Structure formats: C-alpha cells, structure tokens
Amino acid sequence: MAEKRRKVGNPLALAVLAEMVIEPMHPYEMGRRLQEHGKDRSIKYNRSSLYMVVEQLVKAGFIAERETVRDTQRPERTVYAITDAGRAELYDWMRELVAEPKQEFPQFGVALSLLAVLSPEEAVTLLQRRLTALTAQLDEVTGLITESTDRGLAWIFLVEEEYRRVMLDAERRLVTDIVQSLQQPEYVRQWHEVMGRHT
C-alpha cells in the first residue's frame, strides 16, 4: 500500500530483473535484447547505466554472479542469475508501477506553466511547430503498430506503443485547442492584462 524507497530505483533495473527471470545472462546480452525488442523506446537505456545497475542489484542481493566465462575469444563476460529476493522485488515493483500512478513532471508541463513569459503571438507560432512534430510522431507510432500487428506480433507486446499513441493524440488535441484559444482576441486581451505589470 505505502510506497517504499526501492534499494535500486532505476527502471532499467526492473527490465534487467524481467530479463533474468527468463534465464541467467551477462550484462551486454541484456542490453542487446532490450534494444532488439524495442524496450528501449519505453525504458531509458544507456550502457554505462546498465553496468551500474547490475552492480547495485548485486549489492542489494537481487541477482548473483553465476560464472565468469571467457570462451576462447571475446572479452570476459560475467553471467548473473536472479535470486529469490530479486524475483520478489520484480513482482512487488511491477505491482506498484501498474496500480499506483506516480506524479511525474513532463517537460511540456513545465513549458506550459511558464508560457506567460512569451508573447501570445510567438506562443501560437511555436505551438504550431509542436503540432507538426506531434503529428509526425503519431504517424510513426501508428505505422509501427499496424506493421507489427500485420506481422502477427501479440497484442500484449504492443500495449506500450498504444499508450504512447493515446498520449500523443491527447496532447495534440490539447495543443490544437490552445492554439484556437490564443487566436481569440478575448484570450489575448486577458493575457496582456495580466502580464501588463512587468516586461
């Protein structure tokens, strides 16, 4: 119920645990799979963070070193396996993430909360640029979804892209509405009135 502070908080750690539930693995391999399955579109992936996170997971007792292989060629690879504590952490963390929405701070929210520093006219121009970009992103995601569905990829693996699509669509609608409002003299008058004090 209450939210605990995770010993390892980086979402990449969650992905690592999820990979290791399937089979023991060395870090580089985890990264490779993450990218291969496009998980890096939803989880910020960075190789150095990966090694960091693996180290932290070991310290926390969620994974353990299994063996160090050097198969005649290639650099040395350390293979890790998930522990019982790690499995417990994975499920507990997943449950929390799914069931409890957490306050986040999207960049665009920051921009909107300070929108008043710009002039209404400039805001309109900039928001229209955003609209173009959003439309492009929407097309990209929609394309990816249709293409994957056609290739017979199971629905469960596309739900995160569907999420992205829905959020992009909602944002696009909102931006369109704001642009509309900013073109009505009534709103612009109010803006200038409020901002009159400074600048």
Instruction: Candidates 55, 170, 180, 183: give the one binding a copy of itself (CB under 8 A).
Output: 170
**What distances in angstroms separate CA 195 from CA 5, 14, 86, 188, 199, one per listed residue?**
42, 46, 54, 11, 8
Nearer to DNA, 9 or 109 (CB): 9
Question: If residue 82 lies in a helix (H) or strand (E), which one and from where to where?
Answer: strand 77-82
Nearer to a copy of itself, 73 or 142 (CB): 142
From residue 58 to residue 87, the character string flagging contacts with a copy of itself as x (rule: CB under 8 A) and all else as - is ------------------------------
Nearer to DNA, 17 or 123 (CB): 17
CB 49 within 8 A of CB 12: yes
CB 97 within 8 A of CB 115: no
Is 88 one of the binding residues for a copy of itself (CB under 8 A)?
no
Concatenate the DSSP letters of all residues of 61-81 into one string: TSEEEEEEE--SSSS-EEEEE
Residue with the two structure tokens 């417990």? 88
Burial 134-144 (b: 16+ CB within 10 A, else e): beeebeebeeb
Site for DNA in 38-57 (CB under 7 A): 44, 46-49, 51-53, 56
Nearer to DNA, 48 or 132 (CB): 48
Mark the segment that binds a copy of itself (CB under 8 A) among 49-57, 58-66, 70-78, 154-162.
Answer: 154-162
Q: Which residues bind DNA (CB under 7 A)?
A: 8-10, 26-29, 32, 44, 46-49, 51-53, 56, 72-78
